[in-house]
């Protein structure tokens, strides 16, 4: 079976973990701080703060942005549910926005139409490692006084024009889940250039405490969103590999796209006009009239693990029940939810593996 994904690790992770274990200091500490510095330096951010996941990073970013119960937050509809769930958990209202089907990122015109006096923030998602079109998003946000929190879960190393994702809005949130380009097992990070935002993140991610003399003084009812030093050590080793992993992803995406050039019935992922796609996931769009789920099942039966792209939130029972959405109400997102499919793409794949993936997809489409 060609697996959907495999994280890339070697002996360096074990070396870094061994250093942490030898100190007996396993909670958040110097290795996590080193990981934070390396990632922030890589993307050109003043500050980076490791978190227990990208979900907790997004949640804390909304808290720091001042989002409260009853506020509205604009959320692209085609995304993993965590992007919407963090809004719900604050008692705020996720306002779901349709997408551009070519890039799977937010439709800026639809986003602008959905701004109201209650809109407090927007969370553009850099879907599958493809940057959202940030310039017009930032113009809308500036005109309306909206905080921009980038969901860069899939986008470590993605650029928008000449800037790295995670440095364009007021805050950026990254994921280090095993399906991402680099991993710490679980984990996330918030980046920002704003000194006051930085101070608030530091305070709130660790119970709201500030060290005064030999003890802590608790100034806020904060959270326990820290990343352990064991995970930070893995992150340090992974950051050493990041440039090579990004180059490998892009090269393999080009190779797979070439192999699929004569495959009817599917559209490979597009390079946006602003550039920067890192292909965290290689997601193709199946033509209307074909059964995407049958194609997935066929490929798995023939030794290639595949899955859907991601979820249309408005098609999910929770968002329909709580906010009155109807299936298909956001047509482009609905099309992506029913027709997008993720193919394997990671450095351990060989040329022969890419041949098998392409041939199996052609056979799967042809079987319909």
Q: Which residues pair with 73 in a beta bridge?
A: 94, 121
**Which of 31, 180, 241, 249 is flagged as catalytic?**
180
Q: Which of 215, 212, 72 is nearest to 145 (CA)?
A: 72
Q: Cα(107)–Cα(124) distance, rounded to whole angstroms?
A: 10
Buried b (16+ CB within 10 A) or exposed e, 288-298: eeeebeebbeb
What SS3 string covers 21-81? HHHCCCCCCHHHHHHHHHHHHHHCCCEEEEECCHHHHHHHHHHHCCCCCCCEEEEECECCC
Say if CB 329 and CB 309 are below 8 A apart: no
Closest CA to 37 of 29, 47, 24, 28: 47
Which tokens sit at 303?
């030794």
Angstrom distance (rounded) from CA 221 to CA 209 = 9
CA distances from 78 to 181, 311, 313, 323, 332 (A): 20, 6, 6, 16, 9
68 is catalytic: no
Strands 215-218 and 340-343: unpaired
> Which positions ≥6 away from 350 have C-beta within 8 Å?
none
User: Which are the contacts of 18, defined by CB distance < 8 A and separation ≥ 6?
Assistant: none
Is residue 96 within 8 Å of residue 118, measured between CB atoms? Answer: no
Mode of pairing for the β-strands spanning 209-212 and 266-267? unpaired
Length of the chain (residues): 368
CA distance 105 to 283: 13
Task: List active site positions.
Answer: 180
């Amino acid at each position: 079976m060609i697996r959907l994904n495999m994280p890339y690790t070697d002996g360096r992770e074990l070396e870094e973990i061994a250093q942490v274990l030898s100190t007996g200091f396993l909670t958040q500490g110097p290795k996590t701080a080193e990981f934070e510095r390396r990632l922030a330096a890589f993307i050109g951010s003043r500050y980076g703060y490791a978190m227990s996941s990208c979900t907790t990073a997004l949640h804390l970013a909304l808290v720091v942005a001042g989002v409260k119960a009853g506020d509205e937050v604009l959320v692209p509809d085609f995304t993993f549910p965590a992007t919407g769930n963090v809004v719900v958990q604050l008692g705020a209202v996720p306002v779901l926005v349709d997408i551009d089907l070519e890039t799977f990122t937010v439709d800026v015109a639809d986003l602008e139409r959905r701004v109201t006096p209650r809109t407090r923030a927007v969370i553009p998602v850099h879907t599958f490692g493809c940057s959202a079109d940030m310039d017009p998003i930032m113009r809308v946000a500036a005109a309306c006084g909206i905080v921009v929190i980038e969901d860069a879960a899939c986008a470590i190393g993605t650029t928008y024009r000449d800037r790295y994702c995670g440095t364009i809005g007021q805050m950026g949130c990254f994921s280090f889940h095993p399906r991402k380009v680099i991993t710490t097992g679980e984990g996330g990070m918030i980046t920002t250039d704003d000194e006051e935002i930085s101070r608030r993140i530091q305070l709130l991610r660790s119970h709201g405490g500030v060290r005064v003399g030999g003890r802590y003084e608790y100034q806020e009812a904060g959270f326990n969103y820290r990343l352990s030093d064991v995970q930070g050590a893995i992150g340090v080793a992974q950051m050493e590999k990041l440039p090579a992993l990004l180059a490998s992803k892009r090269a393999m995406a080009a190779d797979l796209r070439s192999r699929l050039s004569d495959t009817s019935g599917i559209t490979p992922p597009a390079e946006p006009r602003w550039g920067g796609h890192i292909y965290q996931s290689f997601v193709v769009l199946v033509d209307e009239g074909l059964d995407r789920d049958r194609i997935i099942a066929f490929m798995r039966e023939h030794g290639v693990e595949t899955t859907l792209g991601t979820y249309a939130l408005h098609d999910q029972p929770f968002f329909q029940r709580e906010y009155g959405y109807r299936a298909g109400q956001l047509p482009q997102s609905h099309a992506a939810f029913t027709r997008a499919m993720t193919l394997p793409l990671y450095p351990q794949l060989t040329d022969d593996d890419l041949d098998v993936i392409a041939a199996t997809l052609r056979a799967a489409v042809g079987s319909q």
